[in-house]
């Protein structure tokens, strides 16, 4: 089915997006609707995406009454903090749009905490883009957790749609796992990252109406300086309120190689779809191979098909483990992780563990330290007072530490890596396609013109 496209003008824009939104506007908020919604939300815990599609609430009312600590920025303000979206601040590009580093402080707005931020600018096109932007604001604006990236604010002005997040010093997991510019990630660091991401998913799934993340993959797992992980990119997430919408249920979206088989073949989306995707990332962490590697033989192209049969055989596991780990791991821990991956990747969603079980299984693996330990060199980014300078010459000053906390010199390999990160990345398609029943259709009537 061919994707339908809408222009910005066609889609239902909240009143506050049409006006300049430097201030939260107080003009014409629909008091009745707001009252009705707050009555409803006193019995339920949050506002859902569907409240926007059936016009129960406007973004303006929502941000005045329901958002937790979210700032509304003008386009000019975000231009200023990113130095005019300068190439020196460029962090990368994904399906949503380009991302730039910026720096906030109270010279921009009183009360703003001084901190580096990542500013994501939506490419100006269509209803699906707006749906993704709105999903981020609605979900991350209301749900706060140590393992979800913190949404600091947004801009919704004329055609501009931007999001402002806390800045994550080490970028995303994909760069660390597959580009390995800081050396191979040690096994226990991988477990720590997986555990954090698992806790993020567990939190989403435990909501009264579970949030299904729908796009779990390494590029959506961001890392802080101490390798604590946070989920980002909630554009495809659904808060459970859209389940009855036919346009939503017939859309199959995500990234090739990570989506669960029942979702691909029948559009059947549950929290267990996220568990399957988690299994794929766990397998990637074990093997340092990507979910899909098109250059490989037919048999080995799809990681799950190739590796899953070997996960239960102790003799075969070591053959598929990332060779760059050079045996520096607890085999006991590896076996447990492999068995967990096997379960998560079950064809039958009912046979997969919940994310709570995943967390409980991973936690003790962190204690299995019987590793032949070599020094792991990692880089502590310089933050704080010199942050603005750091934006301009962020690759020039780095402090290197060993895991033993010994200080050492700047790591040239890492510097090269940071440069690499700034390079313009090719666009990656977000839609999943297959030869059979898989297709992408845009969320249409949800965001169709207001009557």
Ligand X SMILES: Nc1ncnc2c1ncn2[C@@H]1O[C@H](COP(=O)(O)OP(=O)(O)OP(=O)(O)O)[C@@H](O)[C@H]1O
Residue ranges for the known binding site for ATP are: 120
**Distance set, CA 344 to CA 5, 40, 98, 350, 449 (Å):** 36, 36, 33, 10, 41
Q: Binding to ligand X by residue 143, rule CB under 6 A? A: no
Give the side-chain half-sphere CA count within 13 A for 142: 20
Q: Binding to ligand X by residue 222, rule CB under 6 A? A: yes
Burial 301-338 (b: 16+ CB within 10 A, else e): ebbbebbbebbeeeeebeebbbeebeeebbeebbbbbb
Q: Which of these segments, 41-49, 74-82, 216-224, 270-278, binds ligand X (CB under 6 A)?
A: 216-224
Complex with ligand X: residue 159 or 174, whichever CB lies closer = 174
The 3-state DSSP class for residue 378 equals strand
Residue from the set 48, 96, 278, 306 that interacts with ligand X by CB under 6 A: 96
Q: Which of these segments, 87-95, 206-214, 390-398, 431-439, binds ligand X (CB under 6 A)?
A: 87-95
For the CB of residue 170, give the shortest distance to ligand X in the complex, in Å: 8
Residue from the set 219, 241, 302, 346 that interacts with ligand X by CB under 6 A: 219
Which positions are annotated as active-site residues?
Answer: 215
Q: Binding to ligand X by residue 92, rule CB under 6 A? A: yes
Q: Binding to ligand X by residue 118, rule CB under 6 A? A: yes
Helix (H) or strand (E) holding 31: helix 31-43
Q: Binding to ligand X by residue 286, rule CB under 6 A? A: no
Q: Binding to ligand X by residue 234, rule CB under 6 A? A: no
Residue from the set 133, 167, 213, 216 that interacts with ligand X by CB under 6 A: 167
For the CB of residue 43, give the shortest distance to ligand X in the complex, in Å: 34
What angle in degrees, to the nearest 10, is found between the helix axes of 355-365 and 331-344? 170
Any alpha helices (H) in 126-186, and if so which ranges?
Answer: 126-140, 173-174
The 3-state DSSP class for residue 190 equals helix
Q: Binding to ligand X by residue 233, rule CB under 6 A? A: yes
Complex with ligand X: residue 61 or 93, whichever CB lies closer = 93
Q: Binding to ligand X by residue 154, rule CB under 6 A? A: no
Q: Binding to ligand X by residue 77, rule CB under 6 A? A: no
Rounded Cα gap, residues 39 and 281, in angstroms: 41
Residue 21's Cβ-count burial label (10 Å; 0-12, 13-18, 19+) is buried
Q: Binding to ligand X by residue 432, rule CB under 6 A? A: no
Contact criterion met (CB below 8 Å) for 120 and 163: yes
Q: Binding to ligand X by residue 214, rule CB under 6 A? A: no
Which residues here bind ligand X, judged by CB under 6 A? 91-96, 99, 118, 120, 149, 165, 167-168, 171-172, 219-220, 222, 232-233, 421, 428, 430
């Amino acid at each position: 089915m061919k994707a339908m496209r809408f222009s910005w003008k066609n889609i239902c824009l909240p009143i506050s997006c049409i006006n300049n939104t430097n201030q939260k506007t107080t003009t014409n908020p629909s008091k009745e609707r707001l009252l009705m919604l707050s009555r409803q939300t006193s019995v339920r815990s949050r506002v859902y995406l569907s409240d926007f599609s059936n016009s129960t609430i406007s973004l303006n009312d929502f941000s005045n009454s329901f958002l937790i600590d979210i700032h509304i920025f003008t386009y000019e303000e975000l231009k200023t903090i990113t130095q005019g979206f300068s190439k020196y601040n460029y962090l990368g590009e994904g399906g949503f749009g380009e991302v730039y580093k910026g720096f906030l402080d109270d010279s921009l707005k009183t009360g703003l905490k001084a901190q580096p931020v990542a500013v994501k600018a939506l490419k100006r096109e269509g209803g699906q883009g707006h749906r993704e932007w709105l999903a981020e604001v609605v979900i991350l604006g209301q749900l706060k957790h140590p393992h979800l990236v913190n949404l600091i604010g947004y801009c919704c002005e004329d055609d501009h749609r931007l999001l402002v997040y806390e800045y994550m010093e080490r970028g995303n997991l994909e760069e660390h796992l597959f580009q390995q510019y800081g050396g191979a990630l040690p096994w226990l660091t991988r477990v720590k990252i997986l555990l954090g991401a698992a806790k993020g998913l567990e939190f989403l799934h435990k909501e009264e109406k579970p949030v299904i993340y729908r796009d779990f993959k390494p590029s959506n797992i961001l890392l802080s300086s101490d390798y604590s992980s946070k989920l980002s990119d909630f554009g495809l997430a659904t808060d459970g309120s859209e389940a009855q919408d036919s346009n939503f249920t017939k859309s199959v979206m995500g990234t090739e190689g990570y989506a669960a088989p029942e979702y691909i073949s029948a559009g059947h989306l549950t929290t267990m779809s996220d568990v399957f995707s988690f299994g794929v990332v766990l397998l990637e962490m074990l093997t340092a191979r990507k979910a899909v590697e098109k250059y490989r033989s037919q048999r080995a192209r799809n990681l799950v098909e190739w590796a899953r049969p070997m996960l239960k055989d102790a003799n075969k596991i070591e053959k598929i483990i990332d060779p760059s780990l050079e045996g520096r791991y607890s085999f006991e821990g590896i076996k447990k992780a492999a068995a967990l991956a096997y379960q998560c990747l079950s064809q039958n969603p009912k046979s997969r563990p919940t994310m709570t079980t995943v967390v409980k299984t991973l936690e003790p693996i962190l204690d299995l330290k019987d590793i032949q330990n070599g020094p792991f060199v990692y880089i502590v980014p310089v933050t704080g007072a010199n942050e603005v300078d750091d934006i301009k010459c962020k690759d020039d000053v780095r402090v290197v530490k060993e895991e033993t906390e010994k200080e050492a010199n700047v790591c040239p390999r890492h510097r090269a890596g940071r440069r690499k990160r700034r390079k313009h990345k090719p666009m990656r398609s977000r839609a999943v396609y297959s030869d059979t029943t898989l297709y992408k259709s845009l969320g249409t009537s949800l965001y169709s013109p207001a009557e």
